[in-house]
Structure 1
Amino acid sequence: MPTEQLLNTTEAQKAAEKQEVKGYFETTGFDRWNRIYSESDDVNKVQRNIRIGHQKTVDNVLAWLKEQGNLAGRSFCDAGCGVGSLTLPLAELGAGSIAASDLSEAMVKEAERRANEAGVQKGQISFLASDLESLSGRYNTVVCLDVFIHYPQEPAEEMVRHLASMAEQHLIVSFAPYTPLLALLKGIGQLFPGPSKTTRAYTLKEAGIVKAAEEAGFVLKQRSLNQAPFYFSRLLAFEKA
Structure 2
Amino acid sequence: MNTIDDKAIVKDYFNATGFDRWRRIYGNGEVNKVQADIRRGHQQTIDTVVEWLKNDDNLANLSICDAGCGVGSLSIPLAQAGATLYSSDISQKMVEEATQKAKETLGDKHNISFMVQDLEGLTGKYHTVICLDVLIHYPTEDAAKMISHLASLAESRLILSFAPKTLCLTVLKKIGEFFPGPSKTTRAYMHREKDIIEILENNGFKIERKAMTSTRFYYSRILEATRNSEQ
TM-score, scaled relative to structure 1: 0.91
Q: How does 1:207-222 map to 2 (within 5 A)?
A: 207-222=194-209
SS of residue paired to 2:127:
strand
Contact 1:220–1:239, Cα closer than 8 Å, also in 2: yes
Is 1:237 aligned to residue 227 of structure 2? no
Q: Give CA-to-partner distance per residue, 1:74-94, whole Å, 9 cap, x none.
A: 100000000000000001101
Contact 2:17–2:183, Cα closer than 8 Å, also in 1: no
Q: Which residue matches 2:154?
A: 167
Deviation at 1:17, TM superposition (A): 2.1
Which one of the candidate residues 37, 61, 64 is aligned to 1:76? 64
Identity level (%): 53
Matched AA of 2:77: P
SS of residue paired to 2:211:
strand
Deviation at 1:157, TM superposition (A): 1.8
Q: Give CA-to-partner distance per residue, 1:139-185, whole Å, 9 cap, x none.
A: 00000000000110111122111111100111100000000111111
Aligned residues: 228
Aligned CA distance change for structure 1 residues 236 and 125 (closer, same or farther; 3 Å): same
Deviation at 1:194, TM superposition (A): 2.0
| Cα distance between partner residues in 2 of 1:146 and 1:125 | 20
Which one of the candidate residues 109, 124, 142 is aligned to 2:129? 142
Q: Give CA-to-partner distance per residue, 1:111-150, whole Å, 9 cap, x none.
A: 0000001124625111111111101110000000000001
Which one of the candidate residues 69, 72, 86 is aligned to 1:99? 86
Which one of the candidate residues 150, 164, 187 is aligned to 1:200? 187
**Unpaired stretches in structure 1, ≥5 consecutive residues:** 1-9
Is 1:88 aligned to residue 98 of structure 2? no
| Cα distance between partner residues in 2 of 1:192 and 1:125 | 40
Contact 2:13–2:186, Cα closer than 8 Å, also in 1: yes
Which one of the candidate residues 29, 39, 64 is aligned to 1:40? 29
**Unpaired stretches in structure 2, ≥5 consecutive residues:** none
Aligned CA distance change for structure 1 residues 192 and 122 (closer, same or farther; 3 Å): farther
Matched AA of 1:167: A
